[in-house]
Amino acid sequence: MIDRLIDRIMELKNPTVVGLDPRLGMIPDHVKEAAYAKYGKTLEGAAEAFLQFNKAIIDAVCDLVPAVKPQIAMYETLGAAGMQAFIETVRYAKEKGMIVIGDIKRSDIASTAEAYATAHIGATDVEGDTFSAFDEDMITLNPYLGSDSIQPFFKTMRAFDRGMFVLCKTSNPGGGEFQDLLVDGMPLYEKVGLRIEAWGEEFRGKYGFSDVGAVVGATYPEQGVRLRALLPHTFFLVPGYGAQGATARDLAGCFNADGIGAIVNSSRGIIGAWQSAKYKERFTPEEFALASRAAVIDMQKDLWGALHA
Amino acid sequence: MIDRLIDRIMELKNPTVVGLDPRLGMIPDHVKEAAYAKYGKTLEGAAEAFLQFNKAIIDAVCDLVPAVKPQIAMYETLGAAGMQAFIETVRYAKEKGMIVIGDIKRSDIASTAEAYATAHIGATDVEGDTFSAFDEDMITLNPYLGSDSIQPFFKTMRAFDRGMFVLCKTSNPGGGEFQDLLVDGMPLYEKVGLRIEAWGEEFRGKYGFSDVGAVVGATYPEQGVRLRALLPHTFFLVPGYGAQGATARDLAGCFNADGIGAIVNSSRGIIGAWQSAKYKERFTPEEFALASRAAVIDMQKDLWGALHA
């Protein structure tokens, strides 16, 4: 799986992923009104607004960006209708040639972890017929429960050629509260990182990176540099660019000298571009997807420039 | 919230919770056939089987057990239809007077954590109308991302009188891989436990316990004893009884001398009772819910006996 992601990053010269984390306040009125006209001002109506908003953005950026990362929490606020909008977003992005990283941060043990694997990167068996319920290409996972909460995903990951990013060092201000605690002189997140590197050993592809990646927040540049050196076969998913304050220079350390090694997420900075000071003069609310496209182009230039300076 | 749970535990003399973690292999044929007849051998058919199975068990045990704990992973294997079955299970159990603990183990930061709070223990605003999407009474959360992944839940928790159990020490064999690492001579799970105790300070009720509980696996008895002493205001959710190998004596240490302090989960041992060696002679597959009732009665006796010996 990781080879497909890196191939596409190289092809587009763009190591970025668009976070599809919609909220109603971010969706232009004309999209919402059309959705409410069909389903009412209900969870179903809001879910339809999410889906149409996402589809327009996917249409506008799919030739420029290798991947999208829908954040499932936003869809859960809309109950089962929101889950259906998530599933249809995944399907649509894949139809448009994009790789989908489900930002689900799930964690559980044994057969429960297997159920999450089945749900998100595998297929459910109903009396001999199989159904891929969520069908993401890659997912994010939380490692607090240890190896036997991650390993149950491997069989499904291999069978369906999927991948994962395990939380290592997160981008939030409080991320260090437990992750930075020193264990034998080494911060916990480095211990976790070393486990991630080891889990990936059997899943390495042609670039030397494995299907078991790590989430490494861009808000801590020196930690990114250190982890890049410590985990040479682990690909990074890097949140924190833009809205969370990290610049392209901050996160250059997450990449190798050849400019490979990470994919950088931006959510609000892309999908909310039409509302931002930078783009709102140039685009009307009806042109929200074009504003996203402009923001994607600017982000690619910013990142590519910092990586190939 | 925690007062309501403890009141009900005292009233029923039963500190147990039934884990509603169905799989198709655990559901009797007659329930499945009826569901497939309505919706086909599809995710929708399987979801209907989950729901009818759950409802029968809820009917059979709601006068004996204070709470149910549906494990959302099982429902996610069935996509949006499964999520709808989860939501309807929550609603039905509450109608029958039960407290519902959503075993969701979510974790994320800032506004994403707020979205999970809105989805599971709050209400979503759609143009002024509000909808409680999942509507559990209490939920489980993962603490790896630190305080700013837990605190975003507090406002909603207070406004809607809900509660949470944060993972502290889990019951799986690999739970200690990160959780037992020593930080300044103290295992990480105790550090996490102390934070849970502190988070709960403003949420204490009449029994001295707070709405911010901890998940403490029963498979490590001595750790339960130590955590019970270290976290005097933190109520425990204890998995691991029965199928995972822990006995009533193993987990007695999670309770105070007065027999209060924890609620013990059993999933397969109750909902799969009709298939087990112990009950299958006494009950036909059609009587699966009665087998669950018998298993609940036996578990109550076992636990109550160990706590009040």
Query: What ipTM score was computed for the predicted complex, to two decimals?
Result: 0.97
Q: Count of alpha carbons within 13 Å of B216, Cβ hemisphere only? A: 31
Q: What is the rounded end-to-end Cα distance, in angstroms, of chain B?
A: 29
Buried/exposed A200-221: b ≥16 CB within 10 Å, e otherwise:
beebbbebebbbbbbbbbbbbb
Q: Decide: residue B23, CB within 10 A, 0-12 exposed, 13-18 middle, 19+ buried.
A: middle
* Neighboring chain A residues of B116 at a CB cutoff of 8 Å: 73, 76
A282-299 exposure pattern, b = at least 16 Cβ within 10 A, e = fewer: ebeeebbbbbbbbbbeeb
Check residue B130 and give its pLDDT. 98
Structure tokens at B88: 């309807």
pLDDT of residue A119: 98
- The confidence score (pLDDT) of residue B309 equals 73
Catalytic residue among B94, B105, B191, B280: B105
CA B24 to chain centre: 20
Residue A22 has a CB neighbour count (10 Å cut-off) of 26
Catalytic residue selected from A94, A105, A191, A280: A105
The residue length of chain A stands at 309
- pLDDT, residue B13, reads 96
Burial class (CB in 10 A: 0-12, 13-18, 19+), A305: exposed
Q: What percent of chain A has pLDDT over 90?
A: 90
Name which of B129, B133, B182 is nearest A183 (Cβ-Cβ): B182
Rounded-to-integer distance, Cα B105 and Cα B168, Å: 12
DSSP code string of A123-147: -EEETTEEE-SS--SEEEE--TT-H
List pLDDT tens digits, range B152-190: 999 999 999 999 999 999 988 888 899 999 999 999 999
How many percent of chain B have pLDDT more than 70? Answer: 99
> Is A155 considered catalytic here?
no
If you average pLDDT over residues B199-214, what whole number do you get?
98
pLDDT at B194 over 70: yes
Domains, chain B: 2-307 (3.20.20.70)
Please tell me the distance from the alpha carbon of residue B309 to that of residue B249, in angstroms, as a whole number: 10
Nearest CA of chain B to the CA of A54: how many Å? 18
Q: Which residues of A touch B43 (CB under 8 A)?
A: 124, 126, 131, 133
pLDDT in tens, B93-121: 999 999 999 999 999 998 999 999 999 99
Question: Which helix (H) or strand (E) is A265 found in, with range?
Answer: strand A262-266
**A32 Rama sector, left if φ>0, alpha if ψ -120 to 50, beta otherwise:** alpha
- Tokens representing B232? 């005097």
Q: What is the pLDDT of residue B244?
A: 67
CA–CA gap between residue A144 and residue B170 (Å, rounded) = 9
Buried b (16+ CB within 10 A) or exposed e, A161-193: ebbbbbbbbbbbebbbbbbebeeeeebbbbbbb
A contacts of B195 (beta carbons < 8 Å): 177
Nearest CA-CA distance, residue B292 and chain A, Å: 21
Q: State pLDDT tens for residues B221-262.
A: 889 999 999 999 999 999 988 766 778 888 999 999 999 999
What does the DSSP 8-state code read for residue B182? E
Query: How far does the CA of residue A12 sit from the closest CA of chain B (Å)?
Result: 29
pLDDT score of A18 more than 70? yes
Catalogue the E-assigned strands of chain B.
16-20, 67-70, 99-106, 124-126, 129-131, 138-141, 163-169, 182-183, 186-187, 212-216, 236-238, 262-266
For A76, the closest of B42, B115, B175 (CB atoms) is B115
Q: Which residues contact B80 (CB under 8 A, 6 or more apart)?
A: A80, A81, A83, A84, A87
CB distance A108 to B73 below 8 Å: yes
Taking 80 as the threshold, does the pLDDT of residue A243 lie above it?
A: no
Count of CB atoms situated within 10 Å of the CB of B173: 14
CB of B18 closer than 8 Å to CB of B65: yes
Give the count of alpha carbons within 13 A of B228, CB side only.
Answer: 23
- Mark yes or no for CB contact A109/B148 under 8 Å: no
- CB within 8 Å: A109 and B83: no
Helices A79-95 and B79-95, packing angle to 10 deg: 170
Contact: A116, B76; criterion CB under 8 Å: yes
0.95 cut: is pTM over it? yes
